[in-house]
Structure 1
C-alpha cells in the first residue's frame, strides 16, 4: 500500500491528482467553516495549489495539437465521432495555450491588463472541450457500434444485415465511457462557475471536484 502510494505520487499524473484533491477538499472546508481566519487560510491553500497544478499542464497543448494533426490526417471529418474528437482536442489545445499566456501574471512576475479577458476565453474553450468530450462519450456509448459498421455494396450471398453486424460496446469500454461522462460532467461546473454562467458556489464545485478527482485517480492508482 505504502509502496503503491509512493509510486502514485512520484508519477506526474498521480501527484497532480493528489494536489487537486487537497485543493478541492480545502475549498469545501473553507465553504463550510465558520471561522473567517481559517477560511482565508484554506482559500490561500486552494489558490496556491491551483497555481502549482498549472505547471503540470503547461505543455498540454502539444498533445492536443498532435492529436488534432493525427485526426486531420485520418478520418477527423469522416465520422461524427471523429469530428467530436477533433473539436474536443482543438478546444483543449486553445485552452492550454491561452492559460499559458497568463502564467507569469498568475505567478506575480509580470502583470498584464488583459489577464482577465484571456482567462475568460480560456475557460470558455475549456467548457467547450468538456462539452464535446461528454457528447463524444455519449455518442460512442449509444451510436458508436452502428457507426463503425463497414459499408456494404449490397451484393453477395453471405452478406449480413446491419443489425447482425453491429457489435455491442464491450462492458469495460462502456464502463470507461460512463466514467468519462460523469468526470467531465462534474468538471463542467468549474468553467461554468468561473465564467459566471451558472454560479453554484464553492461547496458544490468543490464537492464535484472531489468526486471527479477520486474517479480519475483510481485509474492512475491501478496503473502504477
Structure 2
C-alpha cells in the first residue's frame, strides 16, 4: 500500500488533483464558518493551494496543443473530430492565457490587464467544458446505434458528471452561473475525488506494467547469461576434442614411423 501511495504522490497530475481537493475543502470551510478571522484564514489557505496548482500546470497548454493536432488527424468521425479538436484547442488557449497571469497571482504585479486576461481565460475554460459536454452527449447518442460495453457507458457517465461539476467553477467566477462558494467547493471536491481515482488507477496500472517489463528484462539477462555459459562450455569441449584428435594423429604417425624403422631393422638382420 505504501508503494502505491508513493507512485501516486510522484505523479504530477495526482499532486495537482490532491491540491485541488484541499482547495475545495478549505473553500467550503471558508464559506461555512461564522468567524471573519477564520474565513480569512481559510481564504488565505485556498489562495496558496490555487497558486501551487498553477505552477504545476504552467506549461499544460503544450500538451493540449499536441492533443489538438492529434485529434484533428486521428478522428475518423467528422463531428467528433470537430468537437474534440475544439475542446482541446480551447483548453490549450485557456492554459496559455492563464500562464501570463501567474505574476498577479504571486503578488508580484497588480496589472489590470492581467486581471482582465484572467477573466477572459475563465470564459474560454467555460466554453471548453461546454464543448466537452456536447462531445459526451454526442458519444452517448453514438453508442446507442452500435453495440457498446457497460464500461463505455460508465466512462461517459463519469465524464458527464465531471464536466457538470467543473463548469460551475468558471461559470460562477465570470458571473454566468449563480452558485455560492460552498456549492462550487462541493462540486469541485466531487470532481477532484473522481478524477483522483482515475489517476490512481492509471498510475498503478503503469507501475504494474513497468514492473512486468523489468522482470522480463531480468529474465532475458538470465537466459542470455546461461546461453553464453553454455556456448563457452561447448567451445571448451570442442577444443578438447580437437586436442584429442591431434594427439591421436600424432600418436598414429609416431607408431607408423616406429613400425617402419622396426621393419627395416628386421630386414637388415635377415640379410
Query: Equivalent residue for 1:150?
Result: none
Q: What CA RMSD, in Å, does the superposition of the two structures yield over aligned residues?
A: 1.6
Structure 1 runs of 4+ aligned residues shifted over 4 Å read none
**1:208 shift after superposition:** 0.5
**1:196 shift after superposition:** 0.9
Listed one character per residue, the Cα deviations across residues 80-127 of structure 1 (whole Å, up to 9, x for unaligned) are: 111100110111011011100111121122332202210111011100
Which consecutive unaligned segments of at least 5 residues does structure 2 have?
A: 205-271
Task: Flag the structure with larger Rg.
Answer: 2
2:173 maps to 1:212: no
| Distance in 2, Cα, partners of 1:106 & 1:123 | 14
Residues 22-171 of structure 1: pairs in structure 2 closer than 5 A: 22-75=22-75, 79-144=78-143, 146=145, 167-171=146-150
For normalisation by structure 2, the TM-score amounts to 0.71
| Distance in 1, Cα, partners of 2:5 & 2:35 | 33
Please identify which structure carries the higher helix content.
2
How many pairs are equivalent?
Answer: 203
Query: Equivalent residue for 1:6?
Result: 6
Q: Retained in 1: the 8 A contact 2:33–2:39?
A: yes
For normalisation by structure 1, the TM-score amounts to 0.85
Query: Which 10-residue stretch deviates more, 179-188 or 61-70?
Result: 61-70
Listed one character per residue, the Cα deviations across residues 10-32 of structure 1 (whole Å, up to 9, x for unaligned) are: 21111111111111000001111
Q: Retained in 2: the 8 A contact 1:81–1:144?
A: no
| Distance in 2, Cα, partners of 1:14 & 1:66 | 21
Listed one character per residue, the Cα deviations across residues 128-155 of structure 1 (whole Å, up to 9, x for unaligned) are: 1111111101211222564xxxxxxxxx
